[in-house]
Chains A and B, each alone.
Chain A
Amino acid sequence: AQTVTQSQPEMSVQEAETVTLSCTYDTSESDYYLFWYKQPPSRQMILVIRQEAYKQQNATENRFSVNFQKAAKSFSLKISDSQLGDAAMYFCAYRSYTSGYALNFGKGTSLLVTP
């Protein structure tokens, strides 16, 4: 089974600053998809950004962007101009045919945003 590793249990960033959350994964497949989900205290799971493995171009969504390094099996999330509302748990997830299209999640990174 594919494993997803988030090595930073907690991160802290000041408002308006930039923070990068790391994610690595282990797979022997060439075709897969990667996602970052955000879980605020409300508990709702919210999709932040997704990346198709066959695309070399890094995905961006407003202040959120990824650094996808396929050879290194790395998929980090950069949050620019951090806002108080960005405070949440962030989960990296992997999805492929062999996972039955279910999401394999990392253990999450808790992001604290300070004024």
Chain B
Amino acid sequence: DTAVSQTPKYLVTQMGNDKSIKCEQNLGHDTMYWYKQDSKKFLKIMFSYNNKELIINETVPNRFSPKSPDKAHLNLHINSLELGDSAVYFCASSLAGGRRWETQYFGPGTRLLVL
């Protein structure tokens, strides 16, 4: 029983293409996140949704657009892919953000390579 799943795990694509990464959690959590891990392993928050409402939107290019059809899913769509978008993208989820001690559970990550 996978708690937080992401598809695909690997994504190789050409510059200029549009791609999506899907994330689903079966933990009953109501807050979901997207993090980006760059080539130096640095992890940084991109977006956060609580009950399908956007609550964090860090300085990320407009080409990145999160979509939450329901509170168990948070997808990431990327337009006009650039070389610098190559990274590992992690989805995570937790219970309501008001309980700050809540553990965030991470998906397995999606390695995106833009050629």
Question: A interface vs B, CB < 8 Å?
Answer: 31-33, 35, 39, 42-45, 47, 50, 52, 89, 91, 95-97, 99-105, 107-108
Contacts and interface: CB of A to CB of B under 8 A. Distances in A.
Contacts of A96: 100
Contacts of A45: 90, 92, 106, 109
B97 A52 contact: no
Contacts of B41: 39, 89, 107-108
A36 B90 CA distance: 17
B56 interface: yes
Interface of B: 31, 33, 35, 40-45, 48, 55-56, 88, 90, 92, 94, 97-98, 100-104, 106, 108-109, 111
Nearest to A43: B109
Given A33-B100, A50-B101, A101 B42 contact: no
17 contacts: A35-B103, A43-B88, A43-B108, A44-B109, A47-B103, A47-B104, A52-B101, A91-B43, A96-B100, A99-B45, A100-B48, A101-B98, A102-B48, A103-B35, A105-B43, A108-B42, A108-B43
